[in-house]
Structure 1
Amino acid sequence: MAYGVMGDHSPSDTFSDPSGARGEWAARVLGYASLGGALEFYNFIIFVFFAREIGQLFFPVGIPPWLRDLQVYGLFAAGYLARPLGGLVMAHFGDRRGRKGVFILSLLLMAAPTLAIGLLPTYAQIGASAPLALLALRLVQGVAVGGEVPGGWIFVAEHVPAWRRGFACGVMSAALALGILVASLITTLIGSAFDRAEVLDGVWRVPFLLGGVFGLLAVLLRRRLVETPVFLDLSGSLATENGLPLGKALTLGKRASAESMVLTWLLASFILTVILILPGALQERFAAEPASALLGNSLAILCLIAGSMCAGMVADRHGTDVALLGGAACLGACQLWLFASLAPGEHLFFLPYALTGFFVGVTGAVPSAMVERFPAAFRYSGISLAYNVAYAICAVATPLIVTALFDIGRMAVSAYLALVCLAVVWLSARRWRRKGRSTPKPAVS
């Protein structure tokens, strides 16, 4: 099979459904997939909300606090570093054996370790085996999320009609944000209902046990799904395929991979900075009350959920390049307003924080942009390579960059984020002009 240039697809790449005959089934697929995605991201991120408790319980009592914090966040980062390898292995089987099996496996590999963390003995009970076991479970979770996120985008994109692909991917992105919000709210509820001694005494296990149990139930729901129509149309030609899907992604998909990494830079930088880092910075650097910081963050996540779906709808109506260009430009302006409003003792950040959160939702158009860049035969490998490698780099580099820039000044952080937005605006405008000058030739079988 021969493939066209980047952005072109084979005839089996997507299906249309003007009659709506598959609409009800596509809605069920989207519902099951989104529920599993929310649980998966909840299970992956809940660790960081209980980092202090885990540090006290899983490391020796006498070590300096800074060393304990470093070790705990090292465990959290290990999950991100495991993403590329796990994602590429799972993507290979997703391209060769089918999307459904990998989609179920990724959720199982997240739910089971989360449940195990909730049952894990502490350092006081089993000594150094406790942090080693915790590290192993976090690595498995990293493998799982490396396959889940690109796999979820591809699974829903290949199930829904082509003219609904952007909205479907936007809903999946919104579900991931919902998982973060649920983790934050459960942590707040536990913090308000129990004192610290009670949390350390065993209450900290509850969110892990809940995530694990509900994750396993979601696995049973996913088993009711069927393989994507795109893969079923493609599977007949796979027996004659030569070469690994990853190899094709590195050769035929070089431009697509590079552009997808830039889009992941936008996604990772803003999720990490605005959603995960900024609430702590509001309290530590700008003397905001914890309740105010949490309220601002919760509003931003709620707006992010809405923004992700809106970005997907704009992508369906006007194209992903227009959605990304306009959304990134608005995001750059809003985050400048947000950081300019931050000052010690001031509480003027709620509106700009919420509006910035809404435009962080432009990342809801990123998955559909990635899907349309890669042909179906190596789509899973291509997206997994670009997304997981770029996200792993950003996950390690962004906290260091943002912390250093905060020491210079809040507008230095804003300038960095503005640079990210400008890169996506430039990329989207360039691709939009290129598509306007020439109509891509259809790929042939």
Structure 2
Amino acid sequence: MSVTAGKDRRRTLFGLGAGNAMEWFDWNIYATFASFFAAQFFNAQDEVSALLSTLAVFAVGFAARPLGGLVFGWIADRKGRQLSMTLTVAIAAGGSLVIGFSPTYGQIGVWASVILVVARLAQGLAHGGELPSAQTYIAEVAPPARRGLWSSLIYFSGTCGVLAGTLLGAVLSGALSHEQMLSYGWRIPFVLGGVFGIYSLYMRLRMRETGVFLAEAAKDDAAGKKAEKGRIWQTIKQNPKLLVQVVGLTVGATVIYYMWAVAAPSYAITVRGVDPTGALWAGVFANVVFLIALPLWGRLSDRIGRKPVLFIAIVGLLVLSFPLNAMVGDQAWQLFLAMSIALVFMAGFSSIGPAVYAEIFPTRIRTIGVGVPYSIAVASFGGTAPYLQTLLAKNGHPSLFVVYGMVLMVISALVVFTLPETRGVDLREKADTEVESKAVA
């Protein structure tokens, strides 16, 4: 019986989406609430310094993502996609609970900073494994002719998690005073993330493994365990170009995504002086626009191909980079408009990224082959984006960050030229072809 049939398919997609949403909620509420809890973990005498330190920890969390991509990518490609995704949800929820219940800098001094760093490293480890595992899973269970549309579930569900965190921030900042937000309001989303993570864990435990992975595992079992152990690394060494292509595709998109989808409200509050409640609501509505755009781009890619959609998204972001940055003034509506336009084009890249990554890799390394280079690129460029953007703006050079993002997008565009058009490819047939070609070689 196929994993995508009837009730099993609905349960699978809901379990994948719910777990992915909660993982992104846990990960991104850090950036959303950074301006409220920065002084709780670092010296409160200098608010800007405390915020920069908090954003530095945001970047440190990304440092664990390549290791997470390696560990959980190996688990996914050796033991199964479902097991890997279950473990990542559990770790991410635990990290969120630790932050939510952590003592403050005023209570235990520098140990509060240490606890924050350790919790973010754990979440980074989990998030580094979650995204490639989930991307691989959805690509393998999707019908080939609709894989672009189905792959949009990854960022659709993830954005629902980001949106829930931003919406919660808007509600809390409106219902609580500034002093209450600084005192205990910022803890609420972290505690909720941990509690809801338990439900996501339950849903992940009920999911079935993909047929593509089970077929590949059966062939490895027939070949013998000794041969199986070395096949992942052998296949990686035989495909170095694919790893470079993942990095090149990711560097531009990750900076633009974290700039506009995650950190923009916090940046607008701290640097542009936008009212906190208004900025958070602007983020909420802009992400709703992003949600609407995602499946539309995914469906379009199933009709005209992956590469045309990627080029449209990249060119649009390049042309609009400076106008959108200039559009963000000291009003919430300006922030909303700029975010919405940026995220419409960003959706063209995000919606089909999971499909593109999966379609260029053989089954044996489909998770670890994406997870490690992807996490390195995200850690190096996405994790440092909010910090670098804030730092350059505070020093009077905001345009330098815009140029930085544009250069990275040009790199991504050049990589797209090197990709084959993979729309509609059968991943099971691709796996068989890869195995046969390597055997002949």
- TM (normalized to structure 2)? 0.85
Alignment match, 2:327: 341
Alignment match, 1:310: 296
The 8 Å contact of residues 253 and 382 in structure 1, kept in 2 or not, is answered as no
Stretches of structure 1 lacking an aligned partner (at least 5 in a row): 1-14
Alignment match, 2:362: 375
Distance 1:186 1:206 in 2: 9
Alignment match, 1:184: 166
Distance 2:86 2:47 in 1: 39
Match of 1:321 among 307, 310, 318: 307
The 8 Å contact of residues 149 and 302 in structure 2, kept in 1 or not, is answered as yes
Tell me the amino acid that sits aligned with residue 443 of structure 1: E
The 8 Å contact of residues 279 and 335 in structure 2, kept in 1 or not, is answered as no
Tell me the amino acid that sits aligned with residue 37 of structure 1: N
Q: 1:125 to 1:168 in 2, by over 3 A?
A: same
Following superposition of structure 1 onto structure 2, how do residues 109-258 of structure 1 map, counting pairs within 5 Å? 109-238=91-220, 239=225, 240-241=227-228, 243=230, 245-246=232-233, 248-249=235-236, 251-258=237-244
Tell me the amino acid that sits aligned with residue 389 of structure 1: I
Q: 1:159 to 1:288 in 2, by over 3 A?
A: same
Root-mean-square deviation (CA), in Å?
Answer: 3.0
Alignment match, 2:253: 267
Deviation at 1:289, TM superposition (A): 4.2
Out of 296-305 and 148-157, give the one that drifted further. Answer: 296-305
Out of 225-234 and 237-246, give the one that drifted further. Answer: 237-246
Q: 1:398 to 1:210 in 2, by over 3 A?
A: closer
- Say whether residues 1:356 and 2:342 are aligned partners: yes
Tell me the amino acid that sits aligned with residue 139 of structure 1: L
Alignment match, 1:388: 375
Q: 1:292 to 1:246 in 2, by over 3 A?
A: farther
Out of 341-350 and 420-429, give the one that drifted further. Answer: 341-350
- TM (normalized to structure 1)? 0.84
Out of 386-395 and 124-133, give the one that drifted further. Answer: 124-133
The 8 Å contact of residues 359 and 422 in structure 2, kept in 1 or not, is answered as no
Tell me the amino acid that sits aligned with residue 51 of structure 2: D
CA offsets per residue over residues 40-72 of structure 1, 9 Å max, x none? 1111111233334433333456x5445433432
The 8 Å contact of residues 86 and 204 in structure 2, kept in 1 or not, is answered as yes
Distance 1:286 1:53 in 2: 16
Distance 2:367 2:40 in 1: 39
Tell me the amino acid that sits aligned with residue 24 of structure 2: F
CA offsets per residue over residues 170-218 of structure 1, 9 Å max, x none? 1111211221111111111111111133234433322111111111111
The 8 Å contact of residues 392 and 400 in structure 2, kept in 1 or not, is answered as yes
Distance 1:421 1:115 in 2: 36
CA offsets per residue over residues 323-380 of structure 1, 9 Å max, x none? 2122222333344442353456796564453222111102221111111111000111
Match of 2:416 among 428, 438, 442: 428
Tell me the amino acid that sits aligned with residue 79 of structure 2: R
Tell me the amino acid that sits aligned with residue 271 of structure 1: Y
Distance 2:106 2:391 in 1: 36
The 8 Å contact of residues 314 and 323 in structure 1, kept in 2 or not, is answered as yes
Q: 1:60 to 1:242 in 2, by over 3 A?
A: closer
CA offsets per residue over residues 148-189 of structure 1, 9 Å max, x none? 111111111112222222222211112112211111111111
Paired residues in the alignment total 422
Distance 1:413 1:430 in 2: 27
Q: 1:114 to 1:427 in 2, by over 3 A?
A: same
Deviation at 1:246, TM superposition (A): 4.4
Q: 1:52 to 1:355 in 2, by over 3 A?
A: closer
Alignment match, 1:332: 318
The 8 Å contact of residues 288 and 347 in structure 1, kept in 2 or not, is answered as no
Match of 1:57 among 40, 43, 53: 40
The 8 Å contact of residues 45 and 180 in structure 1, kept in 2 or not, is answered as yes
Alignment match, 1:443: 434
Out of 127-136 and 229-238, give the one that drifted further. Answer: 127-136
Tell me the amino acid that sits aligned with residue 364 of structure 1: S
Q: 1:347 to 1:411 in 2, by over 3 A?
A: farther
Q: 1:160 to 1:25 in 2, by over 3 A?
A: farther
Distance 1:202 1:208 in 2: 11
Q: 1:204 to 1:283 in 2, by over 3 A?
A: closer
The 8 Å contact of residues 339 and 414 in structure 1, kept in 2 or not, is answered as yes
Tell me the amino acid that sits aligned with residue 98 of structure 2: A
Q: 1:182 to 1:215 in 2, by over 3 A?
A: same
Tell me the amino acid that sits aligned with residue 372 of structure 1: E
Alignment match, 2:16: 33
Equivalent position SS for 1:158: helix
The share of aligned pairs that are identical, in percent, is: 26
